[in-house]
Amino acid sequence: MDNLEDIQKKLGYFFKDADLLVLALTHSSFANEHGLENNERLEFLGDAVLEICISRILFFGFPDASEGHLTKLRAGLVSESSLARVARFLSLGDYIFLGKGEEYQGGRDRDSVLSDTLEAVLGAVFLDAGYSAAQECIEKVFREFIPESLELLPSYKDYKSRLQEATQSLFKARPVYTLLESTGPEHEKIYRVQVELRNKMKIDARDSSVKKAEQKAAGKAIMELSRRAQ
């Protein structure tokens, strides 16, 4: 763990259970080569922890912002590209355990690898010390990436945010995303996600990560809603 001290300093959190941090940094490609557990379950947990912690930061940080503004900002902050920027700010890629093939293909600087690993690390903080520690860690890590005033709120145009705005306007309800299946080897999995709207419309899409599949399904749903409105 000596060589992981720097990343813990950057996180502002030192693990009581060092194995949790090691697991959070273990990519599936490395795990497959060495018969180890990978960080995907921690990524799943970290995704949820990150969303609630970011929501709290924005809720109290922008008391005059509308629900729509807060939703857009949160969507931008937890998007794959934004999480990858945060991970690069932490130099997280230097600490990830990658398999030889993934390393050769540039995985250490790939957005999907960086964002997934950051979520896994935050999930590990939550398991190691609970919600308060995770909230404090996330506030420190994301401080440089949150606008200082409402006027500086960026306008994010990702498909999931646009679909949520549309469905709230049309149906007074949010879309529901469901992971239907995952296929293929661990290092090349394809995820199939379905989005269901209040009008019973169901649309699915496939991609190399759950987040990408959700975005793709949302984009298809927007197109279908637009077609039906014509």
From the number of C-beta atoms within 10 Å of its C-beta (0-12, 13-18, 19+), residue 115 rates as buried
pTM of the full structure: 0.70
**Is 50 in the same domain as 164?**
no
Range of 52's domain?
Answer: 2-151
Average per-residue pLDDT for the chain: 89
Task: State the Cα–Cα distance between residues 209 and 196, nearest whole angstrom.
Answer: 19
How much is the average pLDDT of 56-71? 88
How much is the average pLDDT of 10-18? 95
CA nearest to 29, candidates 128, 100, 82: 100
Task: State the Cα–Cα distance between residues 40 and 44, nearest whole angstrom.
Answer: 6
**Is 37 in the same domain as 129?**
yes
Position 75 pLDDT exceeds 70: yes
The CATH number of residue 64's host domain is: 1.10.1520.10
How much is the average pLDDT of 72-84? 86
**Is 62 in the same domain as 166?**
no
The residues that bridge with 194 in the sheet, in sequence order, are: 178, 204
**Is 130 in the same domain as 206?**
no
pLDDT for 106 equals 87
pLDDT for 184 equals 86
pLDDT digits (tens, 9 = 90+) for 109-138: 889 899 999 999 999 999 999 999 999 999
Q: Are the C-beta atoms of 217 and 201 separated by less than 8 Å?
A: no
Catalytically active residues are 47, 119
Exposed e or buried b per residue across 195-217, where buried means at least 16 C-beta atoms within 10 angstroms of its C-beta: bbbeeeeebbbbbebbbbbbbbb
**Is 26 in the same domain as 105?**
yes
Which of 151, 185, 214 is the last residue in one of the domains?
151
Q: How many domains does the chain have?
A: 2
The CATH number of residue 166's host domain is: 3.30.160.20
